[in-house]
Amino acid sequence: MSKSHDHHHHGEGSELPDIALRVKSLESLLIEKGYVDPEALDVLIETYETKVGPRNGAAVVARSWLDEEFRKQLIEDASAAAGSLGFTGRQGEHLVALENTPDTHNMVVCTLCSCYPWPVLGLPPVWYKSAPYRSRAVADPRGVLEEFGVNMPDETAVRVWDSTAEIRYMVIPMRPEGTQDWSEEDLAQLVTRDSMIGTGLALTPDQLEAAKTP
Amino acid sequence: MTRPDAQNQVLAALPSIPRDDEGPVFREPWEAQAFAMAVQLHAKGVFTWPQWAEALGKEIANAGAEDTGEDYYLHWMAALEKLTQANGVVSHSEFSDRKDAWDRAARATPHGEPIELGREQRERAAHGQSQPRAQTD
Domain membership of residue A128 as a residue range? 52-212
| B85, β-bridge pairs | none
Candidate list A79, A110, A163, A195, residue with the active-site label: A110
Tell me, yes or no, if A114 is annotated catalytic. Answer: yes
Whether residue A146 lies within 8 A of chain B, CB to CB, comes out as no
Residues of B in contact with A165 (CB under 8 A): 49-50, 52-54
In this predicted structure, what is the pLDDT of residue B125?
62
Residues B64 and B54 in one domain: yes
Q: Is A92 left (phi over 0), alpha (psi -120 to 50) or beta?
A: left
In this predicted structure, what is the pLDDT of residue B26?
87
Q: Which of residues 100-129 of A touch B (CB under 8 A)?
A: 112-115, 122-123, 125-129
- A150, A142, A158, A141: which is closest to A98 by C-alpha? A158
Chain A's closest residue to B106, CA to CA, is: A14
Q: Distance from B126 to chain A by nearest Cα, in Å? A: 16
Whether residue A207 lies within 8 A of chain B, CB to CB, comes out as yes
Residues A39 and A56 in one domain: no
In a domain, A177, yes or no: yes
In a domain, B33, yes or no: yes
Residues A119 and A153 in one domain: yes
Residues of A in contact with B89 (CB under 8 A): 30, 33, 35
In this predicted structure, what is the pLDDT of residue B123?
56
Q: Distance from B86 to chain A by nearest Cα, in Å? A: 14
In a domain, A203, yes or no: yes
Counting the structural domains of chain A, the total is: 2
Mutation target to probe the B interface, by most B beta carbons within 10 A, among A9, A24, A134, A151 is A24
CA A138 to chain centre: 18
Mutation target to probe the A interface, by most A beta carbons within 10 A, among B8, B11, B77 is B11
Counting the structural domains of chain B, the total is: 2
Mean pLDDT, chain A, as a whole number?
A: 91
Q: How many CB atoms lie within 10 A of CB B51?
A: 16
- Nearest-5° Cα angle at A28, A27 to A29: 90
In chain A, the percentage of residues whose pLDDT exceeds 70 is 94
* pLDDT tens, N- to C-terminus, chain B (137 residues): 333 444 444 434 332 323 334 457 888 899 999 999 999 999 999 999 999 999 999 999 999 888 888 899 999 999 999 999 999 999 999 999 999 999 999 888 887 778 888 765 665 566 654 444 444 44
State whether ipTM is beyond 0.85.
no
Residues B86 and B53 in one domain: yes
Whether residue B90 lies within 8 A of chain A, CB to CB, comes out as yes
Residues B86 and B62 in one domain: yes
- Nearest-5° Cα angle at A101, A143 to A116: 60
Please say whether the beta carbons of A168 and A116 come within 8 A.
Answer: yes
In a domain, B135, yes or no: no
In a domain, A73, yes or no: yes
3 state SS of B97: helix
**Interface contact flag, A23 B30, Cβ < 8 Å:** yes
Report d(CA B66, CA A148) in Å as an integer.
20
In a domain, A1, yes or no: no
Give the residue, B104 or A12, on which the prediction is more confident. Answer: B104
* A19-65 residue pLDDT tens: 999 999 999 999 999 999 999 999 999 988 888 889 999 999 999 99
Which of A107-111, A198-202, B18-22 is least confident? B18-22
**Interface contact flag, B60 A112, Cβ < 8 Å:** yes
Q: For A104-167, give the DSSP string.
A: EEEEEE-TTT----HHHH-SPPGGGGSHHHHHHHHH-HHHHHHHTT----TTSEEEEEE--SSE
What residues contact residue B83 under an 8 Å CB cut-off, 6+ apart?
B41, B46, B47, B51, B52, B55
